[in-house]
Amino acid sequence: MVRILVADDDHAILDSTQLLLECEGYEVITASSGDAVCDLENNLPDVILLDIWLSGTNGAEVARFLKAQERTRHIPIILFSANRHIEHLAKEAGVEDTLTKPFDIETLLQKIQKYTPFSVRGRD
């Protein structure tokens, strides 16, 4: 099953996004701080949805860190922000894509599918 890591410091955004993606048949893990994302152990996710303003650490820095690690470099990252103009930040951080808050589930699903083209997701 496709695993998505959702990282956001807002409890309700984490909760709602997790439920939405689970309803669409994805396995979801969550993180509410930058450190929790950087400490990813085994079972790496297939896609990361990363908030740009994580408490304690800057999301763009977390992205740079992940893109600098051999182990995590290949994981597509979607940078998640209320700001509509983050293309330059996304480019600087080396992430694959961006998503503006509030978001449409269809847009999020399209983006995830784009980065997991060969995966089959289970549906209840």
Partner 1 sequence: MKEQPIKVLLVEDDPGDARLIAEMLKESTSLPCALCHIDSLFKIRDLADETFDIVLLDLHFDDMTGLETYSYAQTYFSLTPIVVLTGLRDERLAYDIVKLGAQDYLLKDNIEPKGLVRSIRYAIERKRAEIQKDEFLGFASHELKTPVTSIKAYIQLILLYAKRGHQQDVLPLIRKIDVQVDRLTHLINDLLDVTKVRAGKLEFKFESFSLNEIVDEVISNMQLMTNRHQIVKEGSISALVYGDRERTAQILINLLSNAIKYSPQADRILVRMNSSNDNVSVAVQDFGIGIEKEYQQKIFERFYRIDGRKQENYPGLGLGLHIASEIAKRQNGILSVESEPGKGTTFYLELPTACSHTHAEKEA
State which of positions 9-38 bind partner 1 (CB under 8 A): 9-13, 15-17, 19-20, 23-24, 32-33, 35
Residue 4 CB, shortest distance to partner 1, in Å, is 14
**Taken in order 51, 106, 86, 27, is the CA torsion positive or negative?**
positive
The token duo for 85 is 């103009």
Per rule CB under 8 A, count of chain residues that contact partner 1 = 28
Q: Is 8 exposed, middle or buried (0-12, 13-18, 19+ CB in 10 A)?
A: buried
107 makes contact with partner 1 (CB under 8 A): no
Per-residue contact string for residues 56-75; x = within reach of partner 1 by CB under 8 A = xxx-----------------
| Residue 104 engages partner 1 in binding (rule: CB under 8 A) | yes
- 122 near partner 1, rule: CB under 8 A: no
DSSP state for residue 114 in the 8-state scheme: H
E strands within 1-124?
Answer: 3-7, 27-31, 47-51, 53-54, 57-58, 77-81, 97-100
Interface with partner 1 by CB under 8 A: which residues?
9-13, 15-17, 19-20, 23-24, 32-33, 35, 53-58, 82-83, 101-105
